[in-house]
């Protein structure tokens, strides 16, 4: 271990593994350590089921009815991949897709007045949907056509809207959309968790709705993908990429000290040895004194023996409960997957409800989501603090990732990766930098 590296990475969460993969592909010498004996850090999938019970302090072992413990891979952080989003692009460019198989999530649903409705995925579904009345549908269709044609580089497509000045609230007014449709558009299509976006310039929202519809267009059922065997497969895929390019991995490796000289990082001490480095990437848990708390997320993992009611017996889906419907500031989400994704025993479903904590009683906040899931065989409640780095790393050369937020997809995680990359290298992130070189170092020729 007593060696000199360009970059040392602490923690094998998804953010860290993607960055170590990119750095290795770009010719950097990387050492990647984790104090845990498994990959994934906060974003791992727990197996066998007994391990999940232990982790949440449940003294009983899982009942017989739960099937074999090894058939379970339970995500600690519920997220899906946008089919046309940045993470899929990263997977394709690095060819990490070779190590993974994906399934399309069967549907997205939105909660309104105590009931759940399917988010229309085709024009026919939209016209038949009970989410809005006939005239509302026409106006909504006009709005969607505007979004589809919108091109930020072509003012002819703006229809009198200034993408950098006109707020999203004003755009909704222009198309005369009612409150229910606004809720649905902002939260189920643009996937905002709060309503702050209404006061901001509309460009970001229009691009989010475009991402949603382009992702939807790829597979038709929903815009989301999910990897077989759980999200823990993602960090492992990128760790393999890093290893192919000479990255060194050490799990179960305690970190005793981050060694500083003159205000910047020079190495990491572990079990009496020091590995030297020029730059350090890590998750917040390794540097508590360089991060600050920005909030909390509650996540409740529920094991069910049935699909969720009113979802057409889907074996995977997402449900969005817009904040307005339950008098909150931020939305509540449910991600549901099942035995069809090799993450649960035959006939079992895993639904994970999550939201940003707003009060001193988080479990009461998430109740509306749990009501949709009844009966629940077993639930596991986690309340996690969310951290952000207090500095940008230019001085110390320590680059901390942000905690995983309550969004149901990986777009914010990818933004964090691009941001860290820019601060580390001084140049803008470019997907081209992730392309594998023609012949891998270890002769993994093209398949």
CATH number for the domain spanning 16: value is: 3.50.50.60
Structural domain count of the chain: 3
- Structure confidence at residue 133 (pLDDT): 82
Domain span at residue 415 reads 4-42+232-292+388-442
Whether 398 and 422 share a structural domain = yes
DSSP calls for 152-204: TT-GGGSTT--TTTSBHHHHHHHTT--HHHHHHIIIIIS--SSSGGGGSBTHH
Task: Judge if 246 and 358 occupy the same domain.
Answer: no
In a domain, 134, yes or no: yes
pLDDT of 29 reads 96
Residue 132: the pLDDT is 81
pLDDT score recorded for residue 271 = 94
pLDDT reported for residue 437: 67
* 85 and 207 housed in the same domain: no
225 within domain boundaries: no
Is 135 contained in some domain? yes
DSSP 376-437: -SEEEEEEEEEEEESS-STTT-EEEPPPP-S-SBSHHHHHHHHHHHHHHHSS---GGGGSPP
> What's the half-sphere exposure (Cβ side, CA atoms, 13 Å) at 321?
26
Residues 141 and 258 both lie in one domain: no
Task: Please say which residue of 173, 198, 219 terminates a domain.
Answer: 219
pLDDT at 443: 46
Residues 252 and 309 both lie in one domain: no
CATH number for the domain including 63?
3.30.519.10
Does residue 52 fall inside a structural domain?
no
**pLDDT profile of the chain (447 residues), mean per 10:** 90 96 94 94 94 94 95 96 93 92 94 89 75 84 91 94 96 93 91 94 95 88 94 94 94 96 96 96 96 97 97 95 93 96 97 97 97 97 97 96 92 94 94 72 45
Residue 48 falls inside a structural domain: no
- Residue 49 in any domain: the answer is no
Spatial CA neighbour of 197 closest among 168, 172, 163: 168
Regarding whether 255 and 348 lie in a shared domain, the answer is: no
Please name the residues in contact with 407: beta carbons below 8 A apart, sequence gap of 6 or more: 79, 191, 193, 333
What 3-state DSSP class applies to 13?
A: coil
Does 185 sit behind a cis peptide bond, omega within 30 degrees of 0 on the bond before it? no
């Amino acid at each position: 271990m007593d060696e000199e590296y360009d970059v040392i990475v602490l923690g094998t969460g998804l953010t860290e593994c993607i960055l170590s993969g990119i750095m290795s592909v770009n010719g950097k010498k990387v050492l990647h350590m984790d104090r845990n004996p498994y990959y994934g850090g906060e974003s791992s999938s727990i197996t066998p089921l007994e391990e999940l019970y232990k982790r949440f302090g449940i003294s009983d072992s899982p009942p017989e009815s739960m099937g074999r413990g090894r058939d379970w891979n339970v995500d600690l952080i519920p997220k899906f991949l946008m089919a046309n989003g940045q993470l899929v692009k990263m997977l394709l460019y690095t060819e990490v897709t070779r190590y993974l198989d994906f399934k399309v999530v069967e549907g997205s649903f939105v909660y309104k007045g105590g009931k759940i409705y399917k988010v229309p995925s085709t024009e026919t579904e939209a016209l038949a949907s009970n989410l809005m009345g006939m005239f509302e549908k026409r106006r909504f269709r006009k709005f969607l056509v505007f979004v589809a044609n919108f091109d930020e580089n072509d003012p002819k497509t703006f229809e009198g809207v200034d993408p950098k000045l006109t707020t999203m609230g004003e755009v909704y007014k222009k198309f005369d959309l009612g409150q229910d449709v606004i809720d649905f558009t902002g939260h189920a299509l643009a996937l905002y968790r709060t309503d702050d976006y209404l006061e901001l310039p509309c460009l970001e929202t229009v691009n989010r709705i475009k991402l949603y519809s382009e992702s939807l267009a790829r597979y038709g059922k929903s815009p989301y993908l999910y990897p077989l065997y759980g999200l823990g497969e993602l960090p492992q895929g990128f760790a393999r990429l890093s290893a192919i390019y000479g990255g060194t991995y050490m799990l179960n490796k305690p970190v005793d000290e981050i060694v500083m000289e003159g205000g910047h990082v020079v190495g990491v001490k572990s079990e009496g040895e020091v590995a030297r480095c020029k730059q350090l990437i890590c998750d917040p848990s390794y540097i508590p004194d360089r991060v600050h708390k920005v909030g909390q997320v509650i996540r409740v993992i529920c094991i069910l023996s049935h699909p969720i009611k009113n979802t057409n017996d889907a074996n995977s889906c997402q449900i969005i409960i817009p904040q307005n419907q339950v008098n909150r500031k931020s939305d509540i989400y449910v991600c549901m997957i099942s035995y069809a994704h090799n993450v649960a025993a035959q006939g079992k479903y895993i639904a994970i409800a999550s939201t940003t904590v707003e009060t001193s009683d988080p479990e009461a906040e998430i109740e509306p989501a749990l009501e949709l899931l009844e009966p629940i065989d077993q639930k596991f409640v986690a309340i996690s603090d969310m951290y952000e780095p207090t500095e940008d790393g230019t001085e110390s050369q320590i680059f901390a990732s942000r905690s995983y937020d309550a969004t149901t997809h990986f777009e914010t995680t990818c933004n964090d990766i691009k941001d860290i990359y820019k601060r580390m290298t001084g140049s803008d992130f470019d997907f081209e930098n992730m392309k594998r070189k023609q012949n891998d170092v270890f002769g993994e020729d093209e398949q």
